[in-house]
């Protein structure tokens, strides 16, 4: 008797051959991603050391000129310039060996009054990545990390990024897009800026509407201290009351306007916050909720802005929400429909997108 020890492999799947061109295309794309990651720190470096400002004011410059004008080491200036040229942030003339910051790039990298100003965006990303090792460990158990537990680049970068957009759009476009709100504020309304951070939005509104009274609140005490100083410097410190409190503990009632700027998705209990806002508003009051630009379907957000916001959502906003009671963690790209569901659950009946920018949706919410 003989035994057949052969094995029938006819049913085993055959691995498809690798497309080597596709593989290497992805590898080089990944190399570009590493360069972009490092450039985040390089933009912060150029901002802090005055490299961009010197190029904008005195360019074209070679490495020696840039180092001299910024009182920095020439070797650092040379390598930084080459990295910026390789990434297309500056241009290089091989004949003169000088580097130029194009005028359009100079606006985005040096003009803090422009809504296109970007160093704050890089700064908050730089700070977020610096804390990423903590998030990686917390993610194993689904735990969170509070906003106040992050380094100062996260807090300062956040305000530097959003403030120019608020300055450009808030008074000129967003508030006029709301039904009847500007007239109330001109006559003298009551406003609560909920989750105000460093108070940029609160100060802008107080400057624009001197007849109105304002409250700015945030759970992060150091941010409120900064807001107090900013308001005093802007000459509106006497018309803004600052409070350190979680959003669910919003004080007062009868508000004509409650505002929440790029903060609802960070809150642990957005439904509970919405219920409290519903109680605090006057019967004909308005809640203006400014949230990151997002579509309602995941695939709507597969674009450069959505990619950046999903990154912040993973490393910053979702951990922040998870660190709080309830920890709903709706994410930075929740989309208007998800936010509408939250508002409806809290008792609001009117909801619309009042205005939009490439970075924000401006939502009008009413009883």
Q: What is the CATH number of the domain that holds 46?
A: 1.10.10.10
264 assigned to some structural domain: yes
**Please, are residues 181 and 171 in contact by the beta-carbon 8 Å criterion?**
no
4 assigned to some structural domain: no
Distance between alpha carbon 321 and the CA centroid of its chain, in Å?
15
Shared domain check, 157 and 75: no
pLDDT reported for residue 17: 87
End-to-end CA distance of the chain: 88
Shared domain check, 133 and 66: no
How many Cα atoms occupy the beta-carbon half-sphere of 12 within 13 Å? 5
Shared domain check, 218 and 83: no
272 assigned to some structural domain: yes
Please give the helix or strand (H or E) that residue 41 lies within, else none: helix 20-49
**Please, are residues 362 and 354 in contact by the beta-carbon 8 Å criterion?**
yes
Strand partners for 362 = 290, 355
Rounded distance between C-alpha atoms, residue 43 and residue 49, angstroms: 10
Strand partners for 361 = 291, 356
pLDDT reported for residue 59: 84
Shared domain check, 321 and 219: yes
Rounded distance between C-alpha atoms, residue 355 and residue 176, angstroms: 10
64 assigned to some structural domain: yes
177 assigned to some structural domain: yes
DSSP secondary structure letters along 180-233 = THHHHHHH--EEEEET-TTSHHHHHHHHH-TTSEEEEEES-HHHHHHHHHHHHH
Rounded distance between C-alpha atoms, residue 115 and residue 348, angstroms: 32
pTM of the predicted structure, to 2 decimals: 0.89
**Counting every residue, how long is the chain?**
367
Shared domain check, 175 and 104: no
13 assigned to some structural domain: no
Shared domain check, 64 and 155: no
Domain containing residue 203: CATH number: 3.40.50.150
Taking the chain (367 residues) in runs of 10, the rounded mean pLDDT of each run is 50 77 93 94 98 96 98 98 97 97 97 94 96 96 94 94 93 97 97 95 97 96 95 94 94 96 95 96 97 94 94 95 94 94 96 94 97
pLDDT reported for residue 7: 52
Residue 161 DSSP SS3: helix
Rounded distance between C-alpha atoms, residue 339 and residue 334, angstroms: 7
- Domain coverage including residue 101: 21-109
Question: Is the alpha carbon torsion for 200, 319, 121, 290 positive or negative?
Answer: negative
DSSP secondary structure letters along 77-95 = HHHHHHHHHHTTSSEEETT
pLDDT reported for residue 15: 78
Among 48, 81, 109, the domain boundary falls at: 109
Rounded distance between C-alpha atoms, residue 154 and residue 151, angstroms: 6
Residue 324 DSSP SS3: coil
pLDDT reported for residue 1: 44
Rounded distance between C-alpha atoms, residue 195 and residue 164, angstroms: 18
Shared domain check, 85 and 170: no
pLDDT reported for residue 14: 73
Among 44, 77, 109, the domain boundary falls at: 109
197 assigned to some structural domain: yes
Shared domain check, 50 and 196: no
Shared domain check, 174 and 28: no
Please give the helix or strand (H or E) that residue 362 lies within, else none: strand 360-366
For the chain, the domain total comes to: 2
117 assigned to some structural domain: no
Shared domain check, 131 and 105: no
Shared domain check, 216 and 102: no
Among 109, 140, 167, the domain boundary falls at: 109
Rounded distance between C-alpha atoms, residue 126 and residue 265, angstroms: 21
Shared domain check, 289 and 192: yes
């Amino acid at each position: 008797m003989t035994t057949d020890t052969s094995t029938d492999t006819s049913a085993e799947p055959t691995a498809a051959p690798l497309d080597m061109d596709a593989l290497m295309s992805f590898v080089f794309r990944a190399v570009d991603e590493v360069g972009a990651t490092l450039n985040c720190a390089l933009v912060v470096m150029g901002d802090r050391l005055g490299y961009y400002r010197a190029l904008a004011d005195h360019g074209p410059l070679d490495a020696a000129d840039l180092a001299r004008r910024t009182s920095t080491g020439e070797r650092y200036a040379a390598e930084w310039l080459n990295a910026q040229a390789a990434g297309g942030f500056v241009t290089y003339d091989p004949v003169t060996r000088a580097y130029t910051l194009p005028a359009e790039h100079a606006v985005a990298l040096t003009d803090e009054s422009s809504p296109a100003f970007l160093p704050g965006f890089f700064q908050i990303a730089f700070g977020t990545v610096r804390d990423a090792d903590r998030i990686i460990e917390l993610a194993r158990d689904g735990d969170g990390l509070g906003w106040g537990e992050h380094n100062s680049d996260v807090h300062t970068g956040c305000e530097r990024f959003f403030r120019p957009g608020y300055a450009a759009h808030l008074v000129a476009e967003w508030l006029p897009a709301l039904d009847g709100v500007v007239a109330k504020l001109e006559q003298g309304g009551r406003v609560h800026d909920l989750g105000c951070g460093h108070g940029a939005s609160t100060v802008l509104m107080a400057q624009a509407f001197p007849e109105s009274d304002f409250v700015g609140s945030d759970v992060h005490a150091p941010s409120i201290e900064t807001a107090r100083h900013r308001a005093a410097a802007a000459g509106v410190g006497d018309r803004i009351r600052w409070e350190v409190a979680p959003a669910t503990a919003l004080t007062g009632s009868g508000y004509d306007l409650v505002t929440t700027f790029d903060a609802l998705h960070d809150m642990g209990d957005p439904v509970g916050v919405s219920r409290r806002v519903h109680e605090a508003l006057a019967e004909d009051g308005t809640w203006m909720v400014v949230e990151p630009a997002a579509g309602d379907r995941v695939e709507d957000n597969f674009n450069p802005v959505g990619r950046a916001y999903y990154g912040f959502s993973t490393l910053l906003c979702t951990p922040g929400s998870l660190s709080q009671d309830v920890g709903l963690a709706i994410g930075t790209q929740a989309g208007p429909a998800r936010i509408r569901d939250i508002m409806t659950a809290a008792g609001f009946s009117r909801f619309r997108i009042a205005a939009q920018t490439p970075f924000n949706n401006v939502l009008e919410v009413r009883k």
